[in-house]
Chain A
Amino acid sequence: MIAALLKVMILGLVRDRGALAMTFLLPPLIFMIFAAIFSGVSGDEMRLKIAIVDKAQTDESVQLVTALREEPSLRVYGGRLNDEDSLRRAVALGEVDVGLYIRSSLTSDTGTAPILIVADAGRAMAGPILSGHVQRLIARKMPGVTLHRLVPTIETLSGGLTGAQRVRLDASIQAMNQGKENAAAEEESSEGPLVAIDTLDIRGGNSAVSYYAGAIAILFLLLSAMQGAATLIEERNSGIVDRLAVGSAGVDVVVIAKFLFLTLQGMFQVGLIFLLAWLIYSVSFPGHFGLWLLTTVLAAAAASGLGLSVAAACATKQQANTISGFLVLIISAVGGSMVPRFMMPPWLQDIGWYTPNAWAIEAYQGLLWRDADLQALLPSMWPLALVGIVGLLAALALSRHRLKLG
């Protein structure tokens, strides 16, 4: 008896291409996307995009810049930046993941770190990652700099290289070897004096929350639009569309009404997410309400258009559920709704630009973190508008076509 029921289940799976894809194709695909992301984070594939301004122009700084350009895990920004301000602007505008400013000779002992790393709060992790790269390259390729910078440290630790101090230095080195770092020594001998990190926090508040408010907003816009759009199939199968097709309204009105409803529903949904982000985490969206509203309308319209075109293309609700589940998971993973895109390898980042998630996140980041104006946001907004319009037109055309097929 169990065997008979097993046969039913097996045939049900084998004969349902959608279920087969969800069961055996989607998991490896999602795994591959996340493997690509996280192997990149821990390996050399991450390839941060950096901007460099070398004000010092010493032999060592030129050597460091050359080493950074040759570093396979970094991409150096090709644009021309002359000073600290332009570097900070490039970071703030998101043109690069992180900036590196060499303000004085690497061997100078002025008390301030000769290297300043400028990171955006939305990509705060990029700062320490670049700092690690810089120190590794200096230690490996410019040992003289390391040694030179160690002398004051040794003198600080030993108080001069007298016999007694030599004993003290040996004890300190021994303690370091045993892992019992002297907190003061650690502070002075580590990245502090050579590299300083400045994280840009234009708006205040929690950068990660700001990022994920946008990322989660577009993810759920897509999920609910796909679910809502599937009612188009129910109406088609129940004969409602047949009835309306002969009336004054015609079938287009069904699709257009759904598009408007899903867009409106999406706006409220996103509004709720950002309201919580504002109340609990001080993500400042009321200050940019107009631009936020425009971005939200476009993101919701993009999700609605996409959802309706999927529903119009599918013959059954089951088919639509399978395809939309597949689509939302893939584009959300690639588009940065699950993991920030700067952590992805460049090829995956490039693919991400074909998803509405990437553009929506970019637009929300722009207005919330970079105080971007409408002109600066337009490049992120028009792809969303395009997805919405093309999706709606496709849904209209497909619905008319389906009506003729019956």
Chain B
Amino acid sequence: MDASVGESHPVLSVDQLNVNYRGRPVLKNLDLTIDPGEIFGLLGPNGAGKTTLIRTICARIKPASGKILIGGKEHSQRQALRQIGLVPQEIALYPHMTARENLMVFARLAGLSHAQALDALDYAIEACKLTYQVDDYVHTLSGGWKRRANLAAAILHRPTLLILDEPTVGVDIDARNALNGVIKDLSADRLAVLLATHDMDQAETLCGSVGFLHDGALAPVGNPAQLLHTAYGERQEVLVRLREPASPEVCKMLSDLGFSNDRNKLERRQLLKITAAQQTRLTKMLEASPLRIREIRFRKPGLDLLFLKIKNEQHPT
């Protein structure tokens, strides 16, 4: 690890970044800071510019203006780039080799000596809990194990910034939870993590702060719980799912309760500030009504709802 990466600098600092692609602005006046041990969730729909931001940080795309510092150093310097451990969305491993063989190759390519590489392998295998599958060929591993090996290959050189691009895409819940655990442990070791994901649950579970990237702008940015509290306060989401399209009378009744008045929708949502006693009363009232109800659900609004809200505010339909 570079000794000059001191505590005084954030691990990643992006300041007023503008990136154009074929004359069109892709990232606009983007600011972002990630400190040691912080997990930052970069959220946004496809085409929002998440991959462009990652590529720009990795010095593959030249920004139109703005500044990117990694550990206080200009990001395009080789010394700064070495602070990054990149976990691409694809399984960036050689399938005809075992996980251990892959790790050794990437350790040597990271500039480690043979002895250092052996130590690095021990660290990465332990950190990613890969011990039992490390001698299996990559092409024989299940999706979750492949993802762990993919992550292990990125931390061999002990980076200070780990960039994960959709690390849990296509894996089952158990594997996702296991990976989340690994990422959390790594951040506990003061590794800064930039996590680009579509998975709002994962972002909510893992990230100390998140940012919504939409139309090239990163806003809002903040702690997930705080962002949700700011947006929704004490309100809860009430979901009513019907068995059949509502009659005009049912529609009116739902509309009177504040739900949307769309006859063809089987699923209605409403945000209500509601106590536990009020929840029980509302449930009983709906059950006693002529509505043919499949499901009534109360929950605290999540990042998915906030994301839809931001999208709708920017592009009202």
Contact = CB atoms under 8 A, between A and B. Distances in A.
Contact of B92 (A243, A248, A250, A404): A243
B154 A243 contact: yes
A246 B109 contact: no
A341 to B, nearest CB: 40
A240 B92 CA distance: 5
Interface string A219-247: 00000000000000000011110111111
B55 A246 contact: no
B86 A243 contact: yes
A406 interface: yes
B17 to A, nearest CB: 17
Given A404-B60, A404-B61, A406-B55, A247 B110 contact: yes
Contact of A247 (B59, B82, B91): B82
A129 interface: no
Interface string A268-305: 00000000000000000000000000000000000000
Nearest to A251: B60
Given A404-B60, A406-B60, A242 B109 contact: no
A249 B86 CA distance: 14
B89 interface: yes
Contact of A238 (B59, B60, B92, B154): B92
Contact of A239 (B59, B60, B90, B111): B90
B93 interface: yes
A245 B82 CA distance: 10
A132 B59 CA distance: 70
B157 to A, nearest CB: 7
Interface in A356-406: 403-404, 406
A249 B111 contact: yes
Interface string A249-264: 1100100000000000
A247 B109 contact: yes
* Consensus secondary structure, chain B interface: loop
Contacts of A240: 92-94
Contact of A246 (B61, B81, B89, B90): B81
Contact of A248 (B60, B82, B91): B82
Interface in B66-110: 78, 81-82, 84, 86, 88-94, 106, 109-110
A406 B111 contact: no
A246 B94 contact: no
A242 B92 contact: yes
A243 to B, nearest CB: 5
> A240, A246, A250: which has the most chain B beta carbons within 10 Å?
A246
B131 interface: no
Given A239-B92, A240-B93, A243-B88, A249 B60 contact: no
B221 to A, nearest CB: 24
Nearest to B157: A247
Contacts of A406: 51, 55, 60-61
A243 B91 contact: no
A247 B89 CA distance: 17
B58 interface: yes
B122 to A, nearest CB: 19
B170 to A, nearest CB: 14
Given A248-B109, A249-B110, A237 B90 contact: yes
Nearest to A240: B92
28 contacts: A238-B88, A238-B92, A238-B93, A239-B90, A240-B92, A242-B86, A242-B88, A243-B88, A243-B92, A243-B153, A243-B154, A244-B109, A246-B58, A246-B81, A246-B82, A246-B86, A247-B110, A247-B111, A247-B157, A248-B109, A248-B111, A249-B110, A249-B111, A403-B60, A404-B62, A406-B51, A406-B60, A406-B61
Interface of A: 237-240, 242-250, 253, 403-404, 406
